[in-house]
Amino acid sequence: MTTIDLNCDLGEGFGAWQMGNDAAMIELASSVNIACGFHAGDADIMRATVALAKAGGVSIGAHPGYRDLHGFGRRPVAGLSAAEIENLVAYQIGALQAVASLAGHKVTHVKAHGALSNVACEDDMTANAIAAAIKAVDRNLIFVVLANSRLVKAGEAAGLPLAHEVFADRAYEDDATLVSRKKPGAVLHDPSKIAERVVRMVEDGAVVSVTGKLIKMRTDTVCIHGDTPGAVEIARGVRQALKAAGIAVAPFAGA
């Protein structure tokens, strides 16, 4: 039977401010990426999110981003050296590892967040710095990489186990990059169309770009953003569509 992982970015509130419905999303995901305090999240939210994931039997990963609470980590931070990027990634992974230990769970993967990921998909220095940080912290951590991006090359060069990711609710350009959130139509919202799209992604090992181009890419995990309006309805529809297509949902093992 074909299997696929469904991952979701969670723990993205801060203090008394909450983002999304983490409890509901954890029931629908098989792995979650937890904000580590730089773009969102704090120690209390991290621990609560880890506890929810453990109770639900869901794998957890660190979701490091630029230090940019005001911009939710979606604004590039120019001028950082490779060492600075390595430091900020390692710092955030370590923070989640410590909090996960408090909750009796274990971090199994790392996925770069927002602008840090977007920059790394097109910039070798940033991609290699992220991979180097992961390897230095724990070479057994699975590196979740945008399929067909420079993150793949960086992860392979570092000898890390990889999980190739596609996005359920984001549009793709013809070059396999994600459409900028500054452009209309970058984020998809129709649950039925997204569900149909995900099934096709998994069955075909490909995504369809905004111009209709079929782009072949390895698909180990599908991301549904927890902060997307209607995220719970989208995730529920995706789960139901995958089940109807005979596709099982299970955490990725890395390759």
Tell me the C-alpha to C-alpha distance, in Å, between residue 199 and each of 25, 29, 63, 240, 250.
19, 15, 25, 10, 15
Q: What is the pLDDT of residue 1?
A: 78
Give the closest residue to 246 by CA, choosing from 207, 203, 208. Answer: 203
Q: How far apart are CA 119 and CA 113, in angstroms?
A: 10
Beta carbons within 10 angstroms of residue 43's beta carbon: 13
Cα of 238 vs its chain's centroid, Å:
16
Percent of the chain with pLDDT over 70: 99
- Which residues have a Cβ under 8 Å from the Cβ of 119 and sit 6 or more positions away? 76, 126
Q: What is the pLDDT of residue 254?
A: 62
Tens-place pLDDT, residues 11-65:
999 999 999 899 999 999 999 999 999 999 999 999 999 999 999 999 999 999 9
Q: What is the pLDDT of residue 51?
A: 98
Amino acid (1-letter code) at residue 173: E
Predicted TM-score (pTM) of this structure: 0.94
- Which residues have a Cβ under 8 Å from the Cβ of 218 and sit 6 or more positions away? 147, 164, 205
Band of pLDDT at residue 229, cut at 50, 70 and 90 = confident
Helix H or strand E segment including 7: strand 3-10
Tens-place pLDDT, residues 105-146:
999 999 999 999 999 999 999 999 999 999 999 999 999 999
Domains of the chain, CATH where assigned: 3-249 (3.20.20.370)
Tens-place pLDDT, residues 155-193:
999 999 999 999 999 999 999 888 998 999 999 999 999
